[in-house]
Structure 1
Amino acid sequence: MRCLIVLQLLTSKLWQSGVVLPNHTRNTWFYLFVSSYIAVFYCVLLNTFSSSTHCRNKCSLRFFLTSEIHWRGKLYCIFILLSQGRYEEALVQFEKNKDTDFQAMYQLGVMHYDGLGTNKDPEKGVEYMKKILNSDSPEARHLRFAAAYNLGRAHYEGYGVKHSTEEAERLWLIAADHGNPKASIKAQSTLGMLYSMPDLKDLRKAFFWHSEACGNGSLESQGALGIMYLYGQGVRRNSKAALKCLKAAAERGNIYAQGHLVEYYYSRRFFSTAAARAKRTTENDNIEMLATVTDCLPAYVAKGVAIAAFYLARCLHLGRGIEKDEAAAKKYYSKVRCNA
């Protein structure tokens, strides 16, 4: 019995994060790794317990391991199909298994919502997410937070369901689970953004949720905290804490933090540092790619590039911290207009 509990705990921990609707493709390789890892792990255990004379429930355990190896192996193959863009074939396999496996149901919801391998059907995607969220099955537990986040996103955008900011807030609070690091960190960060918006503006709540998300590893919230400390939004102004957060977020790839760090140095007349940082930030202006890689909102990535481009243009135009070059300055001023 102890062996079964250990297996269930391991499986739960490995699979608890789930895939959120807008970022499903980025998580495909994570699932490939986990599926293959678990399948190999089960194979080792099957071999061990088959030769053991100390396992009282050898037959039932063997059946459990064999069935798990079969399903994990199949899941591995399905995610190989996804990684190759063979969505129609993957969809068929998820459809076959949706009634017996919540992971298949979840992924099916993602595919219907985003129109992968089928016509877009956000209503059906929402329906599958609701089934997972409302299920009492322990096998759905590791996906509930991700499902709640996705449903909140659907309500906020009014896609597949009626628009309702209040319902989105309620669902994101469920997904965030009081800052639980095993819950949806994306929901925690999103609540920080939500409480910064005019409709539900409460900067203390925004600071709280960005703090929770940052503590759980959110890159986007780490940058947001730096800006809140810098301007005293929802918290007492603290330049030292602001610089610490902005530097850490910038080093991890947060473009919005990089832009504000450029502004920070320029306003304090550290022109050489500002120009050097701005040049690095503006080297790659593929907003969608940067947003995908960093899991940050494209609008804030674009703002970060625009801020950096503006201050680099100023440095070039006035010869501050870098050799004066008015032609190059014009080029970077145009980048500001493109990304503003």
Structure 2
Amino acid sequence: MYLIKNILIFLILVFSTMACSESSDLPKTQLAQIDAMLDEDFVKKDINVAYAKYSEEAKQGNPNAQLSLGMIYKRGSYGPERDFTKAVDWFRKSAQSGNPYAQYNLGLAYLFGQGVDENFEESYAWFMKAAMQGHANSQYEIASMYRAGEGVAKNETKAMEWMTKAADQEMAIAAYELGEMYEDGSAGAVNIKLAKKWYKKAADYGLSWGADKLVELQ
């Protein structure tokens, strides 16, 4: 159930990132900026020249180039064929330098078993490194793992703590799930007022489920 739910959430996050890259009203994430940079280099310029540039910079130890090269192999849409194993290798190099976006992608690799064996404990460890640096998606994943008790002992109180951190960064799905937690009292007493508050925020952040829940709770 947790894996199925995460696939759905992953798709939401992907489309949210795409929306950020297309709207001047929303702040661009680093990954959206990387997408724009890759599009510029690989679509408008010579693919071989662009790939050689990223490869050289990555081999010289540039964490952002390593992250970019990892994304190139993960997506398989910028020249080289998709290769999750190579993607993980470059994410790991960047992650070991402290890059939270690479740490997040490495966490996803272990969560879904892409390029490595599925390992929830390793996934949790890499998400936590990024979450401690304020990476909202990783904070959400940490909260989800505490809720499910996968990769770490189940702890609804810690789940709410991390879900709040992600929701405070205007992450719609985190705000929605925080509303659920207040509605069902999973981390304490039921609090419909706070549930409505977070469902409204989820709706304000663009998630229609939040608006649906507000109607349901009227």
* TM-score interval, normalised by the smaller of the two chains: 0.7 to 0.9
Seen in structure 2, the aligned counterparts of structure 1 residues 161 and 22 have a Cα distance that, compared at 3 Å, is: farther
Shift of 1:272: 2.3
Task: Determine the structure 2 residue equivalent to 1:37.
Answer: none
Shift of 1:271: 2.1
Contact 2:166 2:174 in 1 (8 A): yes
Rg larger in structure: 1
Mapping 1:1-340, distance limit 5 Å: 22-24=32-34, 111-113=40-42, 115=43, 119=44, 121-135=46-60, 141=61, 144-159=62-77, 160-177=79-96, 180=97, 183-199=98-114, 200-268=117-185, 269-285=190-206, 305-315=207-217, 319=218
Equivalent AA in structure 2 for residue 314 of structure 1: E
Contact 1:149 1:175 in 2 (8 A): yes
Contact 2:175 2:201 in 1 (8 A): no
Contact 2:199 2:214 in 1 (8 A): yes
Task: Determine the structure 2 residue equivalent to 1:101.
Answer: none
Seen in structure 2, the aligned counterparts of structure 1 residues 311 and 217 have a Cα distance that, compared at 3 Å, is: same
Shift of 1:129: 0.3
Shift of 1:175: 0.9
CA distance in structure 2 between the aligned counterparts of 1:186 and 1:248, rounded to whole angstroms: 17
CA distance in structure 1 between the aligned counterparts of 2:156 and 2:31, rounded to whole angstroms: 36
SS in 1 for 2:111: coil
Contact 1:21 1:110 in 2 (8 A): no
TM-score scaled by length of structure 1: 0.49
Shift of 1:206: 0.9
Seen in structure 2, the aligned counterparts of structure 1 residues 127 and 110 have a Cα distance that, compared at 3 Å, is: farther
TM-score scaled by length of structure 2: 0.74
Contact 1:155 1:167 in 2 (8 A): yes
Deviations 1:214-238 (A, max 9, x none): 1222121112111111221210011
Shift of 1:172: 0.6
CA distance in structure 2 between the aligned counterparts of 1:190 and 1:266, rounded to whole angstroms: 31
Contact 1:214 1:221 in 2 (8 A): yes
Shift of 1:270: 2.3
Gaps of 5+ in 2: 1-28
Gaps of 5+ in 1: 1-18, 27-106, 136-140, 286-304, 320-340
SS in 2 for 1:195: helix
Deviations 1:125-165 (A, max 9, x none): 22210011223xxxxx5xx1111111111111112211111
Task: Determine the structure 1 residue equivalent to 2:22.
Answer: none
Shift of 1:251: 1.4
Contact 2:63 2:94 in 1 (8 A): yes
**CA RMSD across the alignment:** 2.5
Contact 1:229 1:235 in 2 (8 A): yes
CA distance in structure 1 between the aligned counterparts of 2:150 and 2:203, rounded to whole angstroms: 27
Seen in structure 2, the aligned counterparts of structure 1 residues 218 and 21 have a Cα distance that, compared at 3 Å, is: closer
Equivalent AA in structure 2 for residue 309 of structure 1: A
CA distance in structure 2 between the aligned counterparts of 1:20 and 1:273, rounded to whole angstroms: 31
